[in-house]
Structure 1
Amino acid sequence: QPVIKVCGVTNAEDAAAAAEAGANLVGMILWPRAKRSIPATTARQVAAAARGGGAEPVAVFVDEDAATIARVCEECEVRIAQLHGDGARAALEGLPPGLAAIWVLHADKAGRVQSALPPSPGTPRWLIVDSLQGGSGEAFDWRQLRAAAPDLAQHSSHGWLLAGGLTPDTVAEAIATAAPTGVDVSSGVCSPDGLKKDLGKVQRY
């Protein structure tokens, strides 16, 4: 059974629904400049709703330093930080021991990974391979990743997740093609406003 992460959740209701629909990880964006960003007070409610449904909440950061990431995660009662940009990735070594990390890699349209792997293999809990413009809903060629999969798996303790343009209609093919440990979806399960999650899409996923 692949691990399922629903990202860009903006409210507690969506977090509870995603967990109930079977999501293992519920991501929320704490980087203030993102379209689906939420304040720490809302993030606490989202985290509590995710945990209440049996999912683990994840806080997403882009260019924050280790101290900021640790402080915000503590405020939101979140134990997993997703390191999305160069600044946040550089914070990996400085995170406190109780805070797990997800390290994001970016692949070009051909599916070639363009980002550096984490400096200490096995340190992040998960790796995510996303399109160059993460969160944009753009897909890329998944076939290239199948060959890279064993190497990706070695660099994390729990495996790697495929992201980038996944929808309920493409996710089965993506898993069969790239053989990831799991999948990560955001814009592919959004309602037309791009902010709230479309419950039907989350359940089909």
Structure 2
Amino acid sequence: MSLLNGIFPKMKMTRSSNQSTIVSLADKEYKKDRPLVKMCGITSARDAAKAAEAGANFIGMIFWPDSKRSIPLPIAKEISRKRWFLAGGVNHMNVCEALSILRPHGIDVSSGICGPDGIQKDELQILSFMKAVHSVHY
């Protein structure tokens, strides 16, 4: 499904029977005249709810331990309910475990595929990352 002509989820808020906030997604037709929005650095269900209420299409969570917005996997699993992107600190060595545990809809990688200079993308890092991602099946 192409980003430009597919159907995409739109975040909305629901409440469970115990009144805890859950971020879920409803399928809505993607409006081609508006860009998709991913709000990254989500650290709590409250922040996810704010993003949903504001109209974000996706949320991202950061696992790089040196980030002030880094969260542990159990917290991320609690925040995520349906569709979201995994981001931050992901590389070919940890992506399989993170994907298997969290089962995100997508993954956002940047520094995890960089060469030694931290700027230029490294072909071997890219290939290793993609091989790891493609080894995971939901």
TM-score range, shorter chain: 0.5 to 0.7
Which consecutive aligned stretches of 4+ in structure 1 deviate over 3 angstroms post-superposition?
Answer: 86-89
Structure (1/2) with the larger helix percentage:
1
SS at match of 2:84: strand
The residue number in structure 2 matching 1:9 is 42
Query: For residues 93 and 35 of structure 1, what CA distance do their matches in structure 2 show?
Result: 29
Pair 1:81 & 2:119 matched: no
The residue number in structure 1 matching 2:132 is 94
Q: Is the 8 A contact 1:64 1:87 kept in 2?
A: yes
The C-alpha deviation readout for 1:27-78, integer Å capped at 9, x for no partner, is: 1101112111000001012212xx3xxxx3111133532x521211221231
- Tell me by how many angstroms 1:20 deviates: 2.4
The residue number in structure 2 matching 1:26 is 59
When the two chains are superposed, the root-mean-square deviation of aligned CA atoms in Å is 2.3
State the identity as a percent.
29
Query: For residues 87 and 136 of structure 2, what CA distance do their matches in structure 1 show?
Result: 17
Pair 1:37 & 2:49 matched: no
Note the residue ranges of structure 2 that are not aligned, 5 or more in a row: 1-33, 115-124
**Aligned AA for 2:105?**
R
Query: For residues 25 and 98 of structure 1, what CA distance do their matches in structure 2 show?
Result: 21
SS at match of 1:95: helix
Query: For residues 86 and 94 of structure 2, what CA distance do their matches in structure 1 show?
Result: 12
**TM-score normalized by the length of structure 2:** 0.57
The residue number in structure 2 matching 1:114 is none
Number of residue pairs aligned between Structure 1 and Structure 2: 92
Pair 1:59 & 2:86 matched: yes
The C-alpha deviation readout for 1:89-144, integer Å capped at 9, x for no partner, is: 52124312667xxxxxxxxxxxxxxxxxxxxxxxxxxxxxxxxxxxxxxxxxxxxx
Query: For residues 90 and 74 of structure 2, what CA distance do their matches in structure 1 show?
Result: 20
Note the residue ranges of structure 1 that are not aligned, 5 or more in a row: 100-205
Q: Is the 8 A contact 1:28 1:43 kept in 2?
A: yes
SS at match of 2:91: coil
